[in-house]
């Protein structure tokens, strides 16, 4: 099976930097996704990593280490609108098809 | 480009009643997914379609849940009879390919179901 762990909740201040960690255990690893989900809304895609290293996209960056089963999402220059849940999702290839499994999400609260 | 459409947005029913949700994926997307998201948790895959065939329904409670995707486009998810623990947001997502490369799932707004 799969196991995905991420902190339940984090707080940070506007303008600061925050790092949200995600550890996972899976067989047939085939990519890791980060989604943002505002309260009462659908998840929206943020980033995708399949190779080790850092992917940067504006204020958001995502890192992956496949050997350690570890990823993080880095948010810079935090804004109030970044208050949301951040979902780590691992894709694996099993029995001939791809499957995406989500973690429980990290709720980020950005304060002034 | 239009996104994933779902209806209704909200539904309140009593236990043992039946309910149906509808999803229209992004045009041209071959793969369609139904997820259940209970408050405070991440989305859990219920069923995955590739065109109009089922790829994975291992976590679908088949004694009460059913889903179909006729003609490989729209899909409906039905619960009959509903239980209290079915209260959740039901998310529909679609993707262009079947998880190849950076294939991304795009989510609809969801249907919030409350079972009383």
Chain A residues with beta carbon closer than 8 angstroms to that of B109: 41-42
Q: What contacts B26, CB < 8 A, 6 or more positions away?
A: B1, B2, B3, B4, B94, B96, B106
What is the structure's pLDDT at A89? Answer: 96
Do B88 and B38 meet the contact criterion of CB atoms below 8 Å apart? yes
Is the predicted pLDDT of residue A38 greater than 90, yes or no? Answer: yes
What is the structure's pLDDT at B68? Answer: 95
The nearest alpha carbon in chain B to A38 belongs to B109
Average pLDDT over residues A9-25: 97
User: Chain B residues within 8 A (CB-CB) of chain A?
Assistant: 4, 33, 40-45, 48, 50, 55-56, 91, 98-110
Q: How many CB atoms lie within 10 A of CB B15?
A: 13
Burial of B50: CB neighbours in 10 Å, binned 0-12, 13-18, 19+: middle
User: Chain A residues within 8 A (CB-CB) of chain B?
Assistant: 4, 30-31, 33, 41-45, 48, 50, 87, 89, 91, 93, 97-105
Do A60 and A77 meet the contact criterion of CB atoms below 8 Å apart? no
CA of A15 to nearest chain B CA: how many angstroms apart?
Answer: 27
What is the structure's pLDDT at A27? Answer: 86
Is the predicted pLDDT of residue A37 greater than 70, yes or no? Answer: yes
Is the predicted pLDDT of residue B49 greater than 90, yes or no? Answer: yes
Q: What is the pLDDT of residues A50-80, one digit of tens each?
A: 999 999 999 999 999 999 999 999 999 999 9
What is the structure's pLDDT at B99? Answer: 62
Is the predicted pLDDT of residue B107 greater than 70, yes or no? Answer: yes
CA of B70 to nearest chain A CA: how many angstroms apart?
Answer: 21
Is the predicted pLDDT of residue B101 greater than 90, yes or no? Answer: no
CA of A94 to nearest chain B CA: how many angstroms apart?
Answer: 11
Mean confidence (pLDDT) of chain B: 92
Q: Is A95 left (phi over 0), alpha (psi -120 to 50) or beta?
A: left
Under an 8 A CB cutoff, do A48 and B104 touch?
yes
Chain A residues with beta carbon closer than 8 angstroms to that of B42: 4, 87, 89, 102-105
Chain B residues with beta carbon closer than 8 angstroms to that of A98: 98-100, 103
């Amino acid at each position: 099976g799969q196991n995905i762990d991420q902190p339940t909740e984090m707080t940070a201040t506007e303008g600061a930097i925050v790092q949200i960690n995600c550890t996972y255990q899976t067989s047939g690893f085939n990519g890791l996704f980060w989604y943002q989900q505002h309260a009462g809304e659908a998840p929206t895609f943020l980033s995708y990593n399949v190779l080790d290293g850092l992917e940067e996209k504006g204020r958001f960056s995502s890192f992956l280490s496949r050997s350690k089963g570890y990823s993080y999402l880095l948010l810079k220059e935090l804004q109030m609108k970044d208050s949301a849940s951040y979902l780590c999702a691992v894709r694996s290839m099993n029995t001939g098809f791809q499957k995406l499994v989500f973690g429980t999400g990290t709720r980020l609260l950005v304060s002034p | 480009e239009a996104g994933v459409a779902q209806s209704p947005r909200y539904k309140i029913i009593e236990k043992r009643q039946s309910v149906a949700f509808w999803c229209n994926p992004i045009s041209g997307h071959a793969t369609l997914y139904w997820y259940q998201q209970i408050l405070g948790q991440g989305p859990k895959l219920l069923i995955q379609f590739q065109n109009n065939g089922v790829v994975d329904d291992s976590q679908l409670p088949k004694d009460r849940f059913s889903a179909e995707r006729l003609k490989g486009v729209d899909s409906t998810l039905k619960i009959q009879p509903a239980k209290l623990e079915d209260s959740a947001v039901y998310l529909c997502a679609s993707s262009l390919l079947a998880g190849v490369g950076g294939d991304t799932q795009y989510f609809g707004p969801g249907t919030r179901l409350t079972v009383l």
